[in-house]
Amino acid sequence: MNLPKNEEITAKTVRVISSDGKQLGIFPIDRAIRMARDRGLDLVLVSPNSNPPVAKIMDYGKYKYELTKKSKEAKQKRNQIKQMKFRPKIDEHDYQTKVKKLREFLEDGYKVRVTVMFRGREMAFTDRGKEILERVVKDLEEISALESPPRLEGRDMWMTLRPKTQK
């Protein structure tokens, strides 16, 4: 987002907002720029389509830094994967608790890997693990999308879900 600042602003008059958010009034552009410079800050056009345009006195470098920092954090969250492990003989209450936690992860924007772990003779009942994973998909279908279908690797069967809003 590249906002016009200082001499890049083409409007004749602007509504000026101070760095602490108070409206200072409507001023000619040269006086508004002078006010910002007196404070050691920049005049940044934040709402060019209003009448008169709205400009805010702020530290533009710091503002750009904060924006890039927020976008980096958002990207990191998109790439982070949370994990939830189930067992084939899971009790109903435990299942509901884990699904509730999965819902929280998805609503916070995280991808989730759901794993069913098999031990010993449980490997004979991999169909039970698939049923659990399909039930999780069904229970979370309104907020999640299946990114990778259930697959069996060694003694684990897993799948990945992502929030519906994420691409």
Question: Other CB atoms closer than 10 Å to residue 74's CB: what's the count?
Answer: 10
Q: What is the 3-state secondary structure (H, E, C) of 29-95?
A: HHHHHHHHHHCCCEEEEEECCCCCCEEEEECHHHHHHHHHHHHHHHHHHHHCEEEEEECCCCCHHHH
Domain limits, the chain = 6-69, 80-163
6-69 against 80-163: fold identical: no
CATH superfamily ID and name for 80-163: Translation initiation factor 3 (IF-3), C-terminal domain (3.30.110.10)
CATH superfamily ID and name for 6-69: Translation initiation factor 3 (IF-3), N-terminal domain (3.10.20.80)
- Sequence-separated (6 or more) residues with CB below 8 Å from residue 165: none
pLDDT digits (tens, 9 = 90+) for 26-62: 999 989 889 889 989 988 888 888 888 999 999 888 8
Instruction: Write down the pTM of the prediction.
Output: 0.55
Residue 1's pLDDT band (cuts 50, 70, 90): low
Is pLDDT of 167 > 60?
no
